[in-house]
Amino acid sequence: MATIEQRSNGTWRAKIRKKGYPQLSGSFDTKAEAQRWAAEMEGDMSRKRFVDTREADRTTLKEALERYREEVTVNKKGAVQEKTRIKTWSESKYGSKSIAEIRSADLAKYRDDRLAEGVSTNTVRLALALISHLYTVAIKDWGIEGLSNPVTKLRMPKGSRERDRRPTSKELKEVIKASAAVHSEMPVIIEIAVETAMRRSELVSLRRENVRGKHAVLEDTKNGSRRLVPLSVRARELLDTLPARIDGKVFSLAPHSVTQYFVRACRAAKVENLHFHDMRHEGTSRLFEKGLSMMEVASITGHKSMSMLRRYTHLCPDSLADKLG
């Protein structure tokens, strides 16, 4: 039987001691609540349905995220970005809540509040995806009992409209020209990004030893697969203009520097709403406009899914008109 007693502060404490089970206790505002809780716990024990939720109850979201960061995030390619999301969650009002306490209603409010602040749907989806995977790891790998994933019951925000921004020839020329004043490597980086459809991270990690005649070998890509990227005559000419570096790298810039310098170049060229990743869009579309098949383009760009490749492809209507005659 449970022991129920009133504490000096007016609350009620219920204690349960049953052979073969851990000692449990809980504090409640009323005696009725204490009795109801005790009856439920004892009933679960009698029916062999008892689940020890103490670890879930005493582990805060912040603590769980810290463990996730050390055990899971560090092994991801996007570790830097995910650590930022973890910091945001940890410092939020949800950070001090136990992982057993967080409900789908809490995350629905988070979703709606963030969207109302003007945060992009993709940013919100990534933040919620982090929490979802955290619960999956906590349940399956850490063995924390009594947990259910609150994100699975949540209506995720609809994806933002796919970008179809392609620079005009004039815009691209002006941005490349302006980028030379920002950093000497930027014009080459921008042009090679368009010529090869390589990602920013792939470009800045490229080493001289990986450039082999008419192709470049990418050992470490976003999806983890080794890839051979053919180099056009123009791409090879651009690479030849760069001086050899002692560290063996083709470029000296860090990924975030490329992004910042590209923004500066666009501002100087008075070109709006253009991102560096749009160079990959442009390069991919040009490959199709040259007549390459979807499988050929996929082998160059490294897309695993045809649907993902399709959303990066925005063919120039003028080029299509020329094919029609």
- Complete DSSP assignment for 166-223: ---HHHHHHHHHHHHHH-TTHHHHHHHHHHH---HHHHHT-BGGGEETTEEEESS-TT
Enter the tokens of residue 271. Answer: 């070109």
Low-confidence ranges of the chain (pLDDT < 70): 1, 22, 25-27, 44, 47-54, 146, 159-163, 223-224, 311-325
Residues catalogued as catalytic: 199, 222, 277, 280, 303, 312
CA 158 to CA 132: how far, in whole Å? 17
Rg (C-alpha) for the chain, rounded Å, is 28
Please name which of 269, 279, 268, 290 lies closest in space to residue 312, comparing C-alpha atoms.
279
62 near 96, Cβ under 8 Å?
A: yes
- Complete DSSP assignment for 281-320: HHHHHHHHHTT--HHHHHHHH--S-HHHHHHT----HHHH
Q: Cα dist. 315→25, 166, 232 in Å?
A: 66, 9, 20
CA 67 to CA 6: how far, in whole Å? 37
CA 304 to CA 266: how far, in whole Å? 31
4 near 17, Cβ under 8 Å?
A: no
Phi-psi region of 224 (alpha: psi -120 to 50; beta: other; left: phi over 0): left
Q: What is the pTM of this model?
A: 0.61
- CB contact burial 250-275 (16+ within 10 A = b; e otherwise): bbebebebbeebbebbbeebebeebe
Q: What is the pLDDT of residue 283?
A: 92
CA 302 to CA 260: how far, in whole Å? 25
Enter the tokens of residue 125. Answer: 């989806």
CA 140 to CA 4: how far, in whole Å? 35
Phi-psi region of 126 (alpha: psi -120 to 50; beta: other; left: phi over 0): alpha
- CB contact burial 69-102 (16+ within 10 A = b; e otherwise): beebbeeeeeeeebeebbeebbeeebbeebbbeb
Burial class (CB in 10 A: 0-12, 13-18, 19+), 118: exposed
Would you say the C-alpha torsion 211, 213, 219, 221 has a positive or negative sign? positive
Amino acid at 211: V
